[in-house]
Chains A and B, each alone.
Chain A
Amino acid sequence: MRPRDAGRCVVMREPEPIPIHDIPDETGAGATGTGPNATERGIDFLAGIVSFGAGLVVSALDGDEGDDRSAGVAAFVAAGAGLFLEGLRAAAPVLGSIERTAGPTISSSGAAESLGELLDHWRGSWDDRRDEEDQRAAEDRLRAAFQRSVDTVLDQLDLTTLVLDHLDIQQVASAVDIQAMVADLDMDALIGRLDMNRLLDRIDMDRLLDRIDMERLTERIDVQALLDRVDMPAVASNVIDDLDIPQVIREATADTASEGVRDVRLRGVEADRAIRRAVDRLLSRTNGDTR
């Protein structure tokens, strides 16, 4: 207060605030007060793409076990991706300055907002896809872990012994109504589906017969009862009729020769054969007759 204004009642007014524009931060995040600007979103988008691509390449290369060359390439790709991300991070302030400088011009044309919306859309799609993949991968990992757990548990258990020790098979079997099960079976259809010829081809009849105790089998057969059921006179009549026994007797007795005559005949036949062989040798005749 100045001295010449002393003695007067002076009413002091409230000081008016100085109209100072908000100063944007270093990255321009609060320039509009509506979230990250286009530069940040673009950098995040590029970083996401690079991270995803590098992750795929590194995973694929790591899958080749024992391949030093693939491991080297994977390390190189990972290093390159890291370098690129560092570059993006370093370039973010510069790009933010450029946006702040040229931002009003671009904003006035609406291009920045459109580019930002487009980048947001792409990023949203990427996020959705990544969420699905993450969920699927998590499910796969969970399934594999569960499978390994079950296998480990089953390996530790002797199921046969467990069932034999703790399961009363007799009680289970007694609870099963075998008759009902058999009654429900269509045996005709079942037999109809069997190829009996193929079944018989697979049976070793010799081994099967070897296992049959023929003595016991024949002992159990009541031959007398069997014969009682056979019409023996009819069978004998048919046999005699088929064999024609009277004709056989007639033929067998039509040319009865004494032992002496038979001996002469046999000696004559032998002499014939001897002469035949001699003549064949003499004439060098080989007609296959070896008698």
Chain B
Amino acid sequence: MTARATGFDTVPKEARAFHGEPAGLVTRTLANVADLVIVAVLLVGGYLGVAGVLFLRRGASFTFPIVSYRLGYVVGFSAWVVYMTFCWRTNGRSYGDHLLGLRVRTMNGTDLGGIRALIRAVLCAFAPLLLAWCALSEEQRSVQDLIVGTHVIYDWGGSRAGEPSDDAVGMGIDVAPAVANESHDGHAQPPPRVDGE
């Protein structure tokens, strides 16, 4: 099942100049920081949730649980890996990527599979500074990208004329067969250009 391509270029006007090009160090770092904040918020929320359950069970003797450094690191590492793997596998981007208008794709332009997303998430969690390599790479790919065969591109949503939208695919909001702009006689017609390109 795939999304149906439209005759319009639905990419936001200000992003059409660089839509689909490899993203650089700044946006990717900002996206990771946003994801880190989100994971931290999730962890804090989880901690508060556990503390609430303990408060309900212990009553007046409740004290906030003390988390050891080792446990916090393991839980945080695991939460990061699970979060990133889930996001990349389902939408091709995390919420930080969404905020910065980025998307992770394979070099073939397809969505990441589960294994590839998991390995990439583990590498990002284990050695996040390897991201800096994208500043030196001619293709703007980090070490993790080089290992798992991915790259990060600018994607503010929408699609080029005649191409299906990745957002529409990820959200499953349209499951029409890929017979874009097909006339009744069975011959595919080229989509009309409306943006002067």
Contacts and interface: CB of A to CB of B under 8 A. Distances in A.
Interface in A242-291: 242-244, 247-248, 250-252, 254-257, 261-262, 264-266, 268-269, 271-273, 275-276, 279, 283, 285, 287
Contacts of A271: 24, 26-27
Contacts of B181: 242, 244
Q: Give the bracket for the number of chain B residues in contact with chain A.
A: 35 or more
Contacts, number: 98
Interface in B132-169: 135-136, 138, 140, 154, 156-159, 165, 167-168
B6 interface: yes
A264 B156 CA distance: 12
Q: Which of B6, B7, B27, B100 has the most CB of A within 10 A?
A: B6
Interface in B1-57: 3-4, 6-8, 10, 12, 14-15, 18, 23-27, 30
B113 interface: no
Contacts of B176: 247
Contact of A269 (B18, B138, B157): B18
B26 A275 contact: yes
B26 A255 contact: no
B101 interface: yes
Contacts of A254: 157-158, 165, 167-168, 171, 173
Interface residues of A, number: 28
Interface string B77-117: 00000000000000000000011110000000000000000
B72 interface: no
B14 A262 contact: yes
A255 B10 CA distance: 11
Given A244-B7, A271-B27, A255 B14 contact: no
A251 B167 contact: yes
A251 B173 CA distance: 9
Contact of B168 (A251, A257, A272, A273): A251
B16 to A, nearest CB: 12
A224 B139 CA distance: 58
B183 to A, nearest CB: 9
Contact of B24 (A262, A264, A276): A276
Nearest to A265: B101
Contacts of A266: 14
A129 B5 CA distance: 99
A252 B3 CA distance: 14
B100 A243 contact: no
A283 B136 CA distance: 9
Contacts of A264: 30, 99-100
A248 B161 CA distance: 10
B24 A248 contact: no
B167 A255 contact: yes
B165 A269 contact: no
B6 A247 contact: yes
A264 B8 CA distance: 26
Interface pairs A-B: 3 shortest CB-CB: A255-B157, A272-B24, A268-B27
16 contacts: A242-B7, A247-B4, A251-B159, A251-B167, A255-B98, A256-B157, A257-B12, A261-B99, A264-B30, A265-B15, A265-B101, A268-B26, A268-B27, A269-B24, A275-B135, A276-B140
Interface of A: 242-244, 247-248, 250-252, 254-257, 261-262, 264-266, 268-269, 271-273, 275-276, 279, 283, 285, 287
Given A247-B174, A251-B167, 5 more contacts: A244-B180, A251-B159, A257-B12, A265-B156, A269-B24
